[in-house]
Each structure stands twice: as structure tokens, then as C-alpha cells.
Homo-oligomer: A and B are copies of this chain.
């Protein structure tokens, strides 16, 4: 039974090497269970504790964008955040934003187009993308970028990056190479506009009136994990509507493995511990259509040698993948285009069955220099004076690795990779200058492409009637469709900001 053996092996390999960093995932197994509602009956509270025009659930890119736009459209707004700190996953990522047609692209001599970005999104998304939404993200990405920079005061680097799956350099990175470089200016703007941000507020229930309109929420205040069924609840009225910018569920082991049984607790995640499914389930309960939930992305640039998202992804995406190589330590050879989309690369690493090693030289490391002290200190990235020493550290054949690097260097010089067709549009240089830097990589659950179905105005669609659910809007990772089978790197930020702003403008009109 060779196929049998192979299948079992693949499954074992899939989970191998991931047991090192299960702490975060483990927490989610017990934390953030969905609240049990006694029946699916609508029931209005006797009295509302607070009233706003607009209630936004979630304080990441999407939620804060919606809140700012709704407030600017003269609505009273509150932002609810379940965690003790704002920002969710929006603060723990590399701060890369894919943008088409910016002045920075022009200054860098890059010619890009909406159709080129869409083609990249469709290729990674296997054509499962919702055509209108995907196009809107690409078309409005520069508007979102300029809103961040010119209205919010976000500082971006002047150099572009080329992320996996993009045919062209179009990733604009925040000055501090973190999503916090956008979240913090958003929080400041929200404060300046007088939008209250209430932390540790857990959504227990969306409340509909008799006509099926969402009119408010039942929440638990002073929330801590484990208190999901607390009876000390609080009622918040939303005169115009509720915007669910409640994120994805990559940390929720029980729920994610009901959609993809391979993603058990043995697989680590890049997400914060609050990335669970209770808000998604609550939207489904009131009639939302859950779409494409079984497409869950694994990040190929995550290291098993640190917890969560960590800092390795910044080194890998900006330095090693772009300006270096990724090899299978068993063969000391490359096995995939280091700039393929995330699904292609994650699947390729898993297929080797080995924790990959990504390498760059002293020139390549420059693009991630500011995270290097921490990565070296934490022994996630190591530095070596010679390729021989690097090979020895990872139990590789120095001879094969040197030959591999020489071969790769010849492709760089020829600007043509006949083996894996890596795009050399970032003026890549050969790997020659010591010291050499290396990191171990194994995929972690990163982004849930699926979510509730929305229309182009960020209104949530009712599964049975195909009409919109009055008073209910959603945006960001809590929605499905835009990315199809696989979200391209750095397209989450434009998606969240474009649809967050749309949701905020539309709920204010509701």
C-alpha cells in the first residue's frame, strides 16, 4: 500500500515540528467559547444601558476605519473590544499594505495596474474570489493608502517590497514595519474625534427586533476568558446599526478544525488569543450566510522557534524570501519559488516534511535590520561567518548547499530562475557577503479567508432571503469572498481599510 503509507506520512509531517509552539492555540481550546443563548428567539431588553447611532465590534484596521468614517458622517459611535488591549491581529504583523498606483510606486519606477493586482489575487485565490469585492479592494487601495498617510498621519517607508504571489513590487510598509504603525494613528484619530473605545467587552448576542432588524447587542463587560456565560450582562442600543469587524478564527482550534480537520491543536497560530469564532457564529445565528469557511491560510514565514506571529516573518518576507533562498535541510536544496503565494509555499514546506531553512546574506538582511537585534537575541535567527558554518549548524551538506547557492546566484545574475521561476523584480543581488543569516520555518495558521457574505456596501446578506439584514454590517477578516482560496500577503490591510470605511459610511446613512 504505497499510497497508504504516503498519506499517513503526509499527515504526520503536516503536524510535525509544530508542537513546539502550541501555547497560544491551547488557550483557545478553553477560552472564548460561544455564549449559550437559551433560544434563538428575539427578545428586546426591558431597558438599554447605553445608546449610540453606531456600535462597532472590533478595534483592528477594519473596525477603527468604520468608526472614524461613521463619526465623520455625524453619527455617535462606540468601539467595543473584547481584549484588554486594542488592535487584535492588526497590531501583530509586518505592516505591509498592497497598493496599486501610489506615488511611491511611481517614484520607484514601478508600473502597476488594478488588473495586474487582480490577476495576482485570482491566481492565489484559485478563482474563488468574489469578483466585485476583489476589484474594489484593488481599485480603492491607493485611496486607502492616501487616507492612512495624509489623513491619519501614518508614516510609510519610501522603499517598496515584493511579497509572495505579487507579480510586481506593490507592498508599502509602515515606518516601524508593524501594523501598529497604522493602528496607533487610527486610535489617536478616534480619540481626537471623541469615539469611546470600550475594552474587555464581549459580545454575547446580537439583538433583533420583530422585523428582523439588528437594533443592538447584549454584552458582558469587564470580560475575562471563561466568563462567556456570565449573566452580568449589559445592553447597548444601536440606532443606525452594528458593524461587525470582529476578525477571523485562526486561534479557535475547535472551530477551525471543524472546517479543516488537519488544523488540530498541534498546529500553532500567528494570531492573538482572541481570534476565535463566537462573533461569526452569532452572525450566522441571526441569518448571515457563512461562505468559504474551510479555506484557512497557513503562513509560510512563521518560525517554530518563537511563539505566535513573532518577528521571523519580517526577516523571512523582507529579507530571506526576497533576497535569499529557502532550502530543505534534508537535501540542502531549494524546493519552491520563495515568492510564490502563501498556500503554494506552505504546502511545499509541509510536503518536504522538514522544517525549512531560509537564508540571506549581509546585503539581504538590510530590509529587516531593525528587528534583527531581537531575533538574534532570542536565537530565532542565527548568523554565520561562512556558508560551511551555517550548513553545519542545521546539519546540512556544506558542499550541496554551496552548490545550491552558486546555482541560485547565477539565476539572479541572469534574472531568470529556470527551476522555480522566481520573479527577480526587486534588483536581487547574489548571496555572497558574510555574515549569513538563517531562520527555521514551519507554517502556522494565519488567516481565515471565509466569513459572512456581504454585498459591495458591506451589508450582511441573509442566507435564506438573499436580502440584506437591516442594521448589520461587516468588514475585514470576519467576511468571506474577497480573497477566495488564499489571501495574498499584505492585501489584508487594504481589504480591512477599504471595506471598513465603506461600512462606516453606509451604517451612518442607515
A175: interface (CB < 8 Å) = no
Contacts of A130 in B (CB 8 A): 261
Q: CB-CB < 8 A to A7: which residues of B?
A: 118-119, 122-123, 127
| A 440-472 binary contact with B (CB < 8 Å = 1; else 0) | 000000000010010000000101111000000
Residue A39 is within 8 A (CB to CB) of chain B in the complex: yes
Q: Is A303 an interface residue (CB 8 A)?
A: no
Shortest distance from the beta carbon of A496 to any chain B beta carbon, whole Å: 21
Say yes or no: is A129 at the interface (Cβ < 8 Å to chain B). yes
**CA A14 to CA B461, docked complex, whole Å:** 27
Q: Pick the most buried of A122, A286, A463, A465: most chain B CB atoms within 10 A of its CB.
A: A463
- Across-interface contacts of A286 in B (CB, < 8 A): 40
For the complex, is A113 an interface residue (Cβ under 8 Å from B)? yes
Scan residues 368-406 of chain A and give those whose CB is less than 8 A from a CB of chain B.
Answer: none
Question: A261's closest neighbor in chain B, by CB?
Answer: B130
A486 CB to nearest B CB, Å: 13
> Which residues of chain B have C-beta atoms less than 8 A from A40's C-beta?
40-42, 208, 285-287
A128:B464 contact, CB within 8 angstroms: no
Contacts of A287 in B (CB 8 A): 40, 285
How large, as a class, is the contact surface on chain A?
Answer: 35 or more
Nearest chain-B residue to A290 (Cβ)? B290
The residues of B that contact A281 with a CB separation of less than 8 Å are 463-464
Inter-chain contact B292/A259, CB cutoff 8 Å: yes
Least distance between A415 CB and chain B CB atoms (Å): 16
Number of copies: 2
Could you give, for residues 231-265 of chain A, a 1 whenever the CB lies within 8 Å of some chain B CB and a 0 otherwise? 00000000000000000000000100011111000
Contact with B along A31-49 (1 / 0, CB 8 A): 0001111011110000000
CB distance from A81 to the nearest CB of B (A): 21
Contacts of A259 in B (CB 8 A): 291-292
Please measure, in the bound complex, the distance between the C-alpha atom of A292 and the C-alpha atom of B123, giving whole angstroms. 21
A481 to chain B, nearest CB (A): 7
Bound-state CA distance A286–B287 (Å) is 10
The answer for the CA separation of A332 and B284 in the assembled complex, in Å, is 49
Cβ of A6 under 8 Å from chain B: yes
Contact A4 B262 (CB under 8 A): no
Chain B residue with the shortest CB-CB distance to A37: B464
**A87-141 at interface with B (beta carbon < 8 Å):** 113, 115-116, 118-120, 122-123, 127-131
B291 contacts A292, C-beta separation under 8 Å: no
Which residue on B lies nearest to A8, using beta carbons?
B119
Partner of A127, one of B4, B116, B262, B292: B262
Asked if B285 contacts A464 (CB within 8 A), the reply is yes
A294 sits at the interface (CB 8 A) = yes
Q: A residues near B, CB below 8 A?
A: 1, 3-8, 10-11, 14, 34-37, 39-42, 113, 115-116, 118-120, 122-123, 127-131, 167, 208, 210, 212, 254, 258-262, 278, 281, 284-287, 289-295, 450, 453, 461, 463-466, 481, 484
Q: Which 7 A-B pairs have the closest CB atoms?
A: A4-B119, A34-B464, A7-B119, A3-B119, A292-B294, A41-B41, A40-B40
